Amino acid sequence: MSETPVTVSDDDGLSITERRTQRRTVLAVTGEIDVATGTRLRNRLAESLNDPDTDQVVVDLREVSMMSSTGIAVLVDAHWQADQQGKSLGVVVGDNRAVAHPLRITGVDQVLNLRSTPES
């Protein structure tokens, strides 16, 4: 059973749309992940991972136009939090070079559970 998507937008250029299906939450992110928006994404990921009704969180970054080192740190922190709670965190990059390139050059792509689609 899926719920109606909930979109949280702000004037800072970041939009996060949440979709839930059974024990899985998908957060689709659009815009820029940088020092101005990173805290909001970090908090949203933490909320989803702390939800007792969620076993798996997928963050879909295919529509992200820029990701700074702050974005990378947010993903690494969320990965650590998921591990500590025995939950799964998937990161969808698809063919988005704006996300895949920073993850690859920092080696973080070897740590995160990267996916091409939210369903994979």
Whichever domain contains 13, its CATH number is: 3.30.750.24
Backbone φ and ψ for 98, nearest 5 degrees, come out as -60, -25
Let me know if 68 is exposed, middle or buried by CB neighbors in 10 A (0-12, 13-18, 19+). Answer: middle
- Does 11 fall in a domain? yes
pLDDT value for 61: 98
For residue 11, the number of C-alpha atoms closer than 13 Å in the C-beta half-sphere is: 0
**pLDDT, tens only, 70-103:** 999 999 999 999 999 999 999 999 999 999 999 9
pTM: 0.90
pLDDT in tens, 22-31: 899 999 999 9
Distance CA 62, CA 78 (A): 18
Tell me how many domains the chain contains: 1
Stretch 43-54: mean pLDDT, rounded? 96
Q: Which domain holds residue 46?
A: 6-115
Digit-coded pLDDT (tens) for 3-21: 556 666 666 789 999 999 9
